Structure 1
Amino acid sequence: MARGGQPKDRADGPERRCIATGEVQPKAGLIRFVTSPDGQIVPDVLEKLPGRGIWVAADRAAIDRAVQKRLFLRAAKQSVSVPDNLADEVERQLLQRVVDQIALSRKAGHAVAGYEKVKSWLQTGEALVLIQASDGSARGKSKLNTPPDGKFIGVLTAQELGLAFGREHVIHGALAAGGLTRRVVEDAARLSGLRMTNGGEDTSGKDLKTR
């Protein structure tokens, strides 16, 4: 069974147990950690590092709890060093991951930026995901709507989104179906969890939502 007692959706892929919450959930909502050769716990955002994986929910509170309660030591079954700023490092890596993936999508022709281009994609049905800067004007952003059955990403600032499109700043962007789009949505959701506090407050003014 998945979270909330719902039947497991096989489309969600393999599941792992979070050492902080004890919940079993799809890997897409978790962060993998491994023990480095020198005995330090390091995040493996790309899930490619060798070694036994230790999984924690993509949530700042969960990672902080795993650090404070020394849960990594128990999971690794050996003496390990855990940096106090581990959640910050995970956030940094996820941010770089999302920016890089959007940049690759742009080069492949699966992403556009700018109000008029995004509006055109939304009107023709080419856009599957609407991306808007978290610090953009609420009035300006309200003029565009998430495509039906699509997704909305609002976890990046205008400057961060600009990096993905090779500009100083970007307020509006869109992703087409296929390519890296699903991965961008999943990683943006994980990034959102790292930018939230224990009480649900967004620490950076950025969030990811479907609206």
Structure 2
Amino acid sequence: MRNPRNDPLVADSDVVEGAGPERTCVLTRACRPKDQLIRLALSPDGVVAPDVRARAPGRGAWIGVGRAELDEANAKGKLRGALNRAFKSQGVTVPADLGALVETALRQAALDRLGLEARSGTLVNGAERVEQAARQGKVHLLIHAADAGEDGNRRLDQAWRVGGGEPQGVVFPEGRTILSMALGRENVVHCALTDPAAARRVRHAIDRWQAFIDPLAGLERASDGGSRPADLTKNEGNA
């Protein structure tokens, strides 16, 4: 029986959550590791856009709040003021729907990550195959579609515990239709990652998304293997 807390969850090339440089959220001023924040970038014409993969060139600003708080700060003008300071400019344009743009980008990043892992052969789906792998201690991350039945979830959660896994799987923020499309497979209700590094990457992508749409879910769970509330807080006007 494996102990997931003793597994090497990441390879040297993987991002280790909570490691690396920290940044400061422009709204809360809370300092967090970069991988727990969302980077915003500035286009050449001065329009703010989400850069959830943190790859855009130039200066970046970082936010570590959920969507509701971001939308409120945007509506009140607080966000624009903070971003003007972060980008050292008075001409920053903040889209009224920035919260929706960030959510869409995080959602797409999670779906893309799932698709990549599915194509690499590190993901299994189908209740029977998932249950068998879980009982054999081969599952490093168990995922249930949002519309999966409670009985099926409980059965697979129990199988994962028997195999030395965590108390319960992750409930994906979308139903089986979207999950199936992301994986390029039909009628995916439950799936599992059998590679520890792949599980870490997928979990972090899902947790970032969940932490933005629901601050009571997400990032903290990925760091300790439990099911604790998340905190999506991060950086400032540094790239």
- Bin for the TM-score computed over the shorter chain: 0.7 to 0.9
Q: State yes or no: 1:72 paired with 2:83.
A: yes
Which residue of 2 is the match for residue 133 of structure 1? 145
Q: State yes or no: 1:52 paired with 2:63.
A: no
TM-score by length of 2: 0.73
Q: What are structure 2's unaligned runs of at least 5 residues? A: 1-15, 228-239
Extract structure 1 runs of 4+ deviating beyond 6 A. none
C-alpha distance in structure 2 between counterparts of 1:30 and 1:65, whole Å = 18
Q: 2:200 aligns with which of 150, 169, 182?
A: 182
Shift of 1:178: 3.8
Which has more strand, going by share of residues? 1
Q: For the Cα contact (< 8 Å) 1:103–1:165, is it kept in 2?
A: yes
Structure number with the bigger relative contact order (C-alpha 8 A, sep ≥ 6) is: 2
Q: State yes or no: 1:160 paired with 2:178.
A: yes
Deviations 1:174-205 (A, max 9, x none): 012344332211111111022227xx5xxxxx
Which residue of 1 is the match for residue 94 of structure 2? 82
Which residue of 2 is the match for residue 31 of structure 1? 38
Structure 2 matches for 1:96-175, cutoff 5 A?
A: 96-145=108-157, 146-147=160-161, 148=164, 150=166, 152-154=169-171, 155-175=173-193
Q: What are structure 1's unaligned runs of at least 5 residues? A: 1-8, 201-206
Which residue of 2 is the match for residue 41 of structure 1? 48
Q: For the Cα contact (< 8 Å) 1:114–1:171, is it kept in 2?
A: yes
Relative to structure 1, the CA distance from residue 169 to residue 66 in structure 2 (aligned partners, 3 Å threshold; closer, same or farther) is farther
Deviations 1:62-119 (A, max 9, x none): 4324423122223222111111111111111111111111111111111111101111
Q: For the Cα contact (< 8 Å) 1:105–1:111, is it kept in 2?
A: yes
Q: For the Cα contact (< 8 Å) 1:58–1:191, is it kept in 2?
A: no
Shift of 1:58: 5.3
Stretch moving more, 16-25 or 145-154:
145-154
Q: For the Cα contact (< 8 Å) 1:175–1:181, is it kept in 2?
A: yes
Return the letter of the residue paired with 1:12. Answer: A
Return the letter of the residue paired with 1:163. Answer: M
Q: For the Cα contact (< 8 Å) 2:26–2:63, is it kept in 1?
A: yes
User: Residue 193 of structure 2: SS of its match in structure 1?
Assistant: strand
C-alpha distance in structure 1 between counterparts of 2:74 and 2:85, whole Å = 11
